[in-house]
Amino acid sequence: MGIILIFSENVDESSNEVIDWLIHYNYKVVRINAGTYIKFIEYDEVTDVFQLSVNDELFLSSDLQAIWYRKGEFYYPFFHEIKQSVSFSKKLDQYVTEEWKDLFDFFIDRQKKIKILGSYQNRSVNKLKVLDLAKQCGFLVPHTFITSKKSTVEKNFESHGFLIVKGIVDSPNINSEDILVNAYTERIDHDSIEKLPHEFFPSLFQKEIVKKFEIRSFMLNDCFYSMAIFSQGNPNTLTDFRKYDKHKPNRTVPFQLKRDTEQKCKKLAKKIGINSGSFDFIVSENEEIFFLEINPVGQFMMVSKPCNYPIEMDIANYLIA
């Protein structure tokens, strides 16, 4: 049996459960958490083999059976004693970091002979590009515009009615010693527009789709595990179901996407260059399905547990098959 190499974070419970299954199947697992130092000792282009050290344990890339890139960033323990200015030291660190990223990317690229789940190279996607690609794949996408002008928001509000605003990149969680900011998708109504300055940072707006329910669908290679989320009945989760209400949780049930929708998802995933990830949709009151976004490292435990899907076991089986 070969080694299953997993890149993750030490607080990721989903990785823990997959590893439990791999251990149950008597496979050796090397888990590299974000912040864990990886040492590339050497690489020989003749043998196409890397020698690595993780936590002082040596192994060869030829010993690997599969790789699962779950999430995280990874670093090399580079230290220097060059007694120069702080500015020079920072630039040197930045240069070495860039060298390391290219080396790590090359390492992943050279493992094409083995099974790889997830994508380090495509661990994050440009939401605006993805919306365009989704339309190319045949998905309905809410009317979208980007503006820094209040007047443009007013015109779209007059034309389309209620709007929503969301981050162009993943919603940030910004915290410091005295403040915590969680950014969600928010509804834009007349009162919200009145409070806007005449100019602001370029922001992403969409026409609000009055929803019947939402869908979160996790894709594992060509398999889909989908869940319907009835979030429209709670004012807290009406616009963004991530504003969880523990006192009145949303009803969630297993859901089967139409085959045509699954084919569009596969087509979009291929264009992006991923073989796993979470798709988010809204189903309108007219039964139309609208694509919202895709997260290549999306959470799947929120789907597997309430819907009783064996996703963690299936990931383990995929890696060792």
pLDDT tens digits, 64-104? 999 999 988 777 666 555 556 677 777 887 888 888 888 88
Average pLDDT, the chain: 88
- 268 and 300 both lie in a single domain: yes
Residue 122 lies in a domain: no
Residue 316 lies in a domain: no
Claim to verify: residue 108 and residue 181 sit in the same structural domain: no
Would 72 be classed as within a structural domain? Answer: yes
Cα 285 vs. chain centroid, distance in angstroms?
28
Q: Is residue 103 part of a domain?
A: yes
- If asked whether residues 157 and 192 sit together in one domain, one would say yes
Query: In this structure, what DSSP letter does residue 94 have?
Result: H
Q: Which of 117, 135, 160 is the last residue of a domain?
A: 117
Picking from 239, 135, 153, the residue whose alpha carbon sits closest to that of residue 204 is 153
The percent of the chain in helix, strand and coil, each rounded to the nearest 5, is: 30, 35, 35
Task: Write down which residue in 207, 226, 246 finishes a domain.
Answer: 207
Q: What is the CATH number of the domain that holds 299?
A: 3.30.470.20
In a domain, 129, yes or no: no
Residues 160 and 186 in one domain: yes
Whether residues 77 and 51 share a domain: the answer is yes
In a domain, 189, yes or no: yes
Are residues 89 and 10 part of one domain? Answer: yes
Per-residue pLDDT at 84:
63
Domain annotation covers residue 130:
no
Specify the pLDDT at position 251.
79
pTM: 0.87
Q: What is the pLDDT of residue 320?
A: 93
Task: Please tell me the predicted confidence (pLDDT) of residue 55.
Answer: 80
Domain shared by 112 and 147, yes or no: no
Tens of pLDDT, residue by residue over 199-221, are 999 999 999 998 899 999 999 99
Q: Note whether 218 and 153 are same-domain residues.
A: no
Q: How confident is the model at residue 235 (pLDDT cuts 50, 70, 90)?
A: low
Determine the pLDDT at residue 46: 93
pLDDT given for residue 238 in this prediction: 59
* Dist CA 266 CA 223 (whole Å): 10
Cβ atoms within 10 Å, residue 255: 20
Q: Which residues make beta-bridge pairs with 279?
A: 217, 294
Mark whether 259 and 243 lie in a shared domain.
Answer: yes
Domain extent at residue 113: 3-117
Residue 167 — pLDDT band, cuts 50, 70, 90? confident
| Residues 7 and 96 placed together within one structural domain of the fold | yes
pLDDT at residue number 234: 65
Instruction: Report yes or no on 110 lying in a domain.
Output: yes
| Confidence band for 230, pLDDT divided at 50, 70 and 90 | confident
Same domain? 19 vs 66:
yes
Closest CA to 21 of 268, 267, 315: 315
Neighbours of 214 (CB within 10 A): 23
- Report the alpha-carbon distance of residue 119 to residue 111 in Å, rounded: 12
Residue that is last in its domain, among 179, 207, 235: 207
Closest CA to 304 of 21, 10, 4: 21
Pair 153, 217 in one domain: no
Q: What is the C-alpha separation between 294 and 233, in angstroms, rounded?
A: 24
Number of structural domains the chain divides into:
3
